[in-house]
Amino acid sequence: MLLLVGLGNPGPRYAKNRHNAGFMAVDRIVRGHSFGAFRARSRFEGEVAEGILGPEKALALKPDTFMNESGRSVRKLSTYYKIAPERIIVIHDDLDLAPGKVKVKLDGGNAGHNGLEDIDAHIGRDYWRLRIGIGHPGDRDLVTPYVLSDFAQSDSAWLDPLLDAIAEAAPLLSAGDELGFMSRVARLTRREEAAAAKTDPEPPDGS
């Protein structure tokens, strides 16, 4: 069994924040594949959806805890279903990646990400991380307000195609083909960029 964990903060106040990119991605995966709807599961302190992704059964989790206590929810659900850390994929925002870039990595540091830090404390570091680049504000003092602010309207030009690409390519993660996943996401997003460029109106003469 595979466990997909989207990281974010619960409630409508945070729904469009950059820090909720993990929630957004797991929502898109659940809608795009054979999953039931998310249901609140108090015993796991989160919302859980069940379904099939690629060749196997999968669970999707959105912790109801705030970001810095995500690990408790992940530990409770993974322990109950006996899911080993190497079958857990945590999807989260990443300041160190340019907006729209995606990387998948097993183990590694948490780079100060509160959600990852708490998960490390509860289940160790031997799980997969799907990093969604949101860029950096340029000043460490601006990081907190930046991640807790909504994506800019202009970000939808890359964010929506990226979330769609992650959802479409997600079965490759279930099959253990992380490199294939990243390659397919890159190919799908390039295709969307090319299509968008073709539909852009020509600039007026003299501009």
Q: Which residues are catalytic?
A: 19
96 CB contacts (<8 Å, ≥6 apart)? 111, 133, 136
- State the Rg of the chain over Cα: 17
* 3-state secondary structure (DSSP) of residue 12: helix
Retrieve residue 91's tokens.
């999807």
Phi-psi region of 113 (alpha: psi -120 to 50; beta: other; left: phi over 0): beta
Task: Indicate the pairing of strand 2-6 with strand 56-63.
Answer: parallel
Retrieve residue 179's tokens.
């490199």
